[in-house]
A and B are shown apart, each in its own frame.
Chain A
């Protein structure tokens, strides 16, 4: 899972390493293991709670950390009370449309900025980059009014509309496409290739790594988006995963069954979490690129 995407720490495994003091090194490793366990503890707590029978949940001692009896009943209850297939389908549709659209709109624009010289190129590029500075929360009110005007409340298009492209995506694509040699494109032109065909047959296959990174980021962003669906979705059938599981606490109120709540959390996040963990290297790349814009 690590290999290429992992930040290479060996190269500068630096100053502490050369510090010869073995004790210090051992202490450092132990400290980090302790820290990692601490970080993972909430997930462990979630898992053991989710597998506890109802009468075992509210026990007040550290012995709770090692439950004696386990059951899958909370998962069955969770599955009955929350329409997971519906939520997953909604989230998946919205995330897939957003991802495909973000890849195409961004790569088309990125290609135009990277490989063509035209009059308004610079101005348009600055205008696109400037959108990165506008936080979504600032424009959500007019966007909501637009959705109302179009009569799009409680629809998929309402949710994915603001996610169809991003300034970050265009920037990322332009940076990457600039690295493609011009000779390659000119050769294709002389062969009589149409401009769109050059984009489709030559540029797109060459930018697969950045497509993966941008696609993954858009997918994850869409999957986790909460504020916007909260605003435009009221009907239960149109809820996405985050909305569906957030509403559980509001409905249940104080009398919430915590083992069931944790089971809901698990079903809501584990499948995607596993996928994301496998795609770790693209994430790390994307974070580094977004941080060092």
Chain B
């Protein structure tokens, strides 16, 4: 068949390349050349205003570990990622499982209310949460006060600022993982439950021995995509922590994340070499996580 086709080729051999051309040009210009430029820049010391661009080897990388702000930003990013995973993976899983048992109109309402934050503009909801976290007049403290719980200065206290951002991010994104879990639940063949029912399994047993194990691949996948996404946090931090005359990422660097650090070093201090070195380290972390995800994906459809 294949041979036959080659003999009777009905199109010019260059046709597939012509169709590919726009994509190839785009990815070359917008992905491949830039990634090698980042690598190149990371070995050079370069302030954009300075014409000299000396090669400095690994200096940009080594000096990072003496940079206190960088270390703080790594620490903050890790805290953020851990917070997002610790709540943002198990909670949507339980919600998705619970939601399957809701009655129809309530199910639609629940689905819609989790969907709205997900499709809302991050900047706009960031502003809402700045107001919610207002120390004296914000909704958060009003509710806490009504419940006789301690109140906080949320975004203006270095101890709670990162937590405030994590809470907001969870609220915004919880529907995303819930949708993926619902799809996972939906893909479990009904006959497993029927067979278990015939064998006399209780609801709890079905959950423990069918739903949970069969959702393992989905859970791992959600775990890694959440981790990758969380490492890239930027917009909400920028919007919620920048005030007039203040550098975003405050107070006292308590919400400075890795991407914010790259942004500040590169575009405020214009130190392109050093910013590129951070970007390269960032890339390595994301690459490892993505490759892990691809391996897990292969196992995804084994059942």
**A binding-site residues for B, Cβ under 8 Å:** 2, 6-9, 11-19, 25, 28-29, 31-33, 35-37, 39-43, 45-46, 49, 57-62, 64, 104-106, 108-109, 111-113, 116-118, 121, 124, 127-128, 131-135, 137-146, 161-162, 164-165, 167, 170, 186, 189-190, 195, 199, 220, 223-224, 226-227, 230-231, 241-242, 245-246, 248-254, 258, 261-262, 264-266, 268-269, 272-273, 276-277, 280, 283-284, 287-288, 291-293
Contacts and interface: CB of A to CB of B under 8 A. Distances in A.
30 contacts: A7-B183, A9-B107, A11-B190, A12-B188, A16-B101, A16-B203, A18-B203, A29-B103, A35-B95, A42-B128, A60-B142, A61-B142, A105-B22, A108-B22, A112-B19, A116-B15, A116-B19, A135-B228, A137-B232, A137-B234, A141-B262, A143-B30, A144-B266, A195-B19, A226-B235, A242-B124, A258-B137, A273-B121, A277-B115, A287-B180
A183 B100 CA distance: 42
A62 B204 CA distance: 41
Contacts of A253: 243-245
A128 B26 CA distance: 10
The 3 closest A-B pairs by CB, nearest first: A253-B244, A142-B37, A116-B16
B82 interface: no
Contacts of B197: 18
A57 B137 contact: yes
A274 to B, nearest CB: 10
Nearest to B15: A195
Contact of A62 (B19, B110, B142): B142
Interface in B171-205: 171, 174, 176, 179-180, 182-183, 185-186, 188, 190, 193, 197, 203-204
Nearest to B192: A12
A254 B155 CA distance: 13
B19 A12 contact: no
Interface residues of B, number: 119
Given A28-B98, A262-B128, A272-B121, 20 more contacts: A8-B186, A11-B186, A14-B185, A28-B102, A31-B98, A33-B109, A62-B146, A108-B22, A113-B20, A121-B16, A124-B24, A135-B283, A137-B279, A139-B38, A140-B279, A165-B27, A189-B10, A246-B126, A250-B244, A265-B125
Contacts of A8: 186
A36 B179 contact: no
B139 A269 contact: no
By secondary structure, the B interface counts as: helix
B122 A138 contact: no
B283 A109 contact: no
Nearest to B204: A15
Interface string B227-259: 010011011001100111100000000000001
B78 interface: no
Given A141-B272, A288-B183, A164 B115 contact: no
Interface string B16-40: 1101101110110111111101100
B98 A16 contact: yes
Greatest chain A CB density within 10 A among B27, B114, B134, B139 is at B27
Interface in B280-303: 280, 282-283, 286-287, 290-291, 297, 300
B275 A141 contact: yes
A291 B225 contact: yes
Nearest to B113: A36
A13 B142 CA distance: 39
A135 B98 contact: no
B222 interface: yes
A36 B27 CA distance: 42
A184 to B, nearest CB: 14
A33 B23 contact: no
Interface string B104-132: 00111111111111011111111111111
A106 to B, nearest CB: 7
Given A224-B122, A269-B120, A39 B114 contact: yes
Contacts of B107: 9
Contacts of A108: 19-20, 22-23
Contacts of A137: 232, 234, 259, 262, 279, 282
A126 B297 CA distance: 16
A42 B23 contact: no
Contact of B99 (A32, A62, A121): A32
Contacts of A283: 115, 119
A258 B180 contact: no
B208 to A, nearest CB: 9
Contacts of A134: 31, 35, 283
A254 to B, nearest CB: 7
Contacts of A40: 113, 116
Given A42-B125, A62-B146, A111 B139 contact: no
B65 interface: no
Nearest to B14: A118
A49 B128 CA distance: 10
A7 B203 CA distance: 22
Contacts of A117: 2, 5
Contacts of A25: 101
Contacts of B128: 42-43, 45-46, 262, 265
B153 interface: no
Nearest to A29: B106
B25 to A, nearest CB: 9
Contacts of A13: 100-101
